[in-house]
Amino acid sequence: MAPLKSLFFSFLLLSFLFASAASEPCGNHWFDEGKTFASCNDLPSLNCSLHWNYHSSSQTIEIAFRRSSADQKSKWISWAINPDSKGMVGSQALVAFPRDDGTMAAYTSSITSYATQLEQGNLSFPVDGVSSIVKDNEMIIFATLTLPANTTTVNHLWQEGPLVGNVPGMHRLSGPNVGSMGTLDFLSGKILVNKPSSSRNHGKIVHGVLCAFGWGFLIPVGALIARHGRQFLGPGPAWFHAHRFCQCTAYLMGLAGGIIGVSLWVGILGVGIGAGSHQYIGITVLCLGAIQGIVGYYRPHKEDKKRVYFNIFHYSVGYGTIGLSIANVFLGFHMVHFGIKTWPQLTYIVAISFLGTIALVLEGVAYWKSINPSKTSLQHQIVA
């Protein structure tokens, strides 16, 4: 019995030691070249830590910002102070990443918009000694900052993201990247993390569902009904009513999703996001949908010679809107980093592929009927 107890105790001890080693606190970290820091804090996301020495007499702060990861060669990291607000715009950032030639880039960047690519530039306060190293799966930024007089508490942010060549790419817009900001008191070492707004997260979900189903699925269904509805619903007005119902429902859903999207964009539902292709395409689709509805309401009569111009415009704008809508759904998935194997994007791919298959089958049936006209189709043509 005693050997079993000893074995069990040894197992618990080893588990504790391994767990301690895996989650080594920042205070146990040793820097090369004799660098020492009196204070540190393990940041609550992205495997980052911040070390600093605060010199009250000169209002200077020596900092070391660390990120631990096994994929440092394809990442950039950044730590920033925002003197005016808690958001991203206005942040004064330190940036570092490994270049293609193996050297390290370490510089300052003043973030003036959400579309930033972290271009090099001066900060609103003095910074000296900016450098960076990669060692043992860690990337570290060193710098010395000079803060305004009587300032010890700051709004700070930290981030990591992919590299596109030697240019920082957009970081993820979901998960821990969204909540990587807070306030830091250099004197006491106290850090408060700003939690992402729940209303913002719910808004993104509702926006995505409404736009993906309305613009990305129901609009193509309505177009399919308009093109092939006569084959199954007859030459009467039933197909037109079904088409109009689908398109109006889809537009109202897309309009509601678009309003939520604009609210997310400008920051009504929390911190705003940067303007990009997804936002501009979304606004374009909303405008095209409204134009389609207005022009469709005032369409010329079938016998009117101008009807041919209406048809060209209606079909061109309609199919163009469908293409933009589907492309924008995938851009939305890309913005929140939903990969093809994640269930939201996979579900949409299956749904739109199924719809495309139906469209191809119906096109085949229509072509077969055109070269092999039946008595029924001839009767329908006579009635029409």
What was the pLDDT predicted at 18? 35
Gap between the Cα atoms of 55 and 61, Å rounded: 6
148 CB contacts (<8 Å, ≥6 apart)? 59, 83, 125
Please report, for the chain, the start and end positions of each structural domain, with discontinuous segments joined by +.
Answer: 29-193, 198-383
Count the alpha carbons within 13 Å of 55 in the hemisphere toward its beta carbon.
11
What would the pLDDT profile of 204-259 be if each residue is shown by its tens digit?
888 989 999 999 999 999 999 988 887 777 777 888 889 999 999 999 999 999 89
Helix (H, G, I), strand (E, B) or coil at 94: strand
Q: Mean pLDDT across the chain, nearest whole number?
A: 80
Asked whether residue 349 carries a pLDDT value surpassing 70, the answer given is yes
How does pLDDT run across 355-377, given as a tens digit for each residue?
A: 999 999 988 888 887 787 654 45
Considering only 14-23, 157-166, 373-382, which range has the smallest mean pLDDT?
Answer: 14-23
Task: Considering only CA atoms, give the Rg of the chain.
Answer: 29
Burial of 71 (0-12, 13-18, 19+ CB in 10 A): exposed
pLDDT band at 191 (very low <50, low <70, confident <90, very high): low
How does DSSP classify residue 215? Answer: I
CATH class of 29-193: mainly beta
User: Same fold for the domain at 29-193 and the one at 198-383?
Assistant: no
Q: According to the model, what pLDDT value does residue 321 have?
A: 93
Q: Is residue 334 part of an annotated ligand binding site?
A: no
Q: DSSP for 95-113? A: EEEE-TTSPEEEEEEE--S
DSSP state of 124: S
End-to-end CA distance of the chain: 94
Alpha-carbon gap, residue 381 to 199, rounded angstroms? 55
pLDDT for 71 equals: 67
37: Cβ contacts below 8 Å, ≥ 6 apart: 31, 51, 52, 53, 62, 64
C-beta separation of 31 from 11 below 8 A: no
Confidence category of residue 137, pLDDT binned at 50, 70, 90: confident
Provide the pLDDT for residue 37: 87
**If pLDDT is split at 50, 70 and 90, which confidence band does 336 have?**
low
Q: What does the pLDDT read at residue 4?
A: 45
Provide CB contacts within 8 A for 191, sequence distance 6+.
41, 43, 182, 183, 184, 185
Identify the CATH class of 198-383: mainly alpha
The answer, as to whether pTM is greater than 0.75, is: no
Residue-level pLDDT at 303: 83
Please indicate if the annotation marks 207 as binding a ligand.
yes
**Per-residue model confidence as pLDDT tens digits over 63-86:** 999 998 756 667 899 999 888 877
Residue 314 annotated as lining a ligand binding site? yes
Number of residues that make up the chain: 384
Neighbour count for residue 216 (Cβ, 10 Å): 24
Q: Any binding-site annotation on 51?
A: no
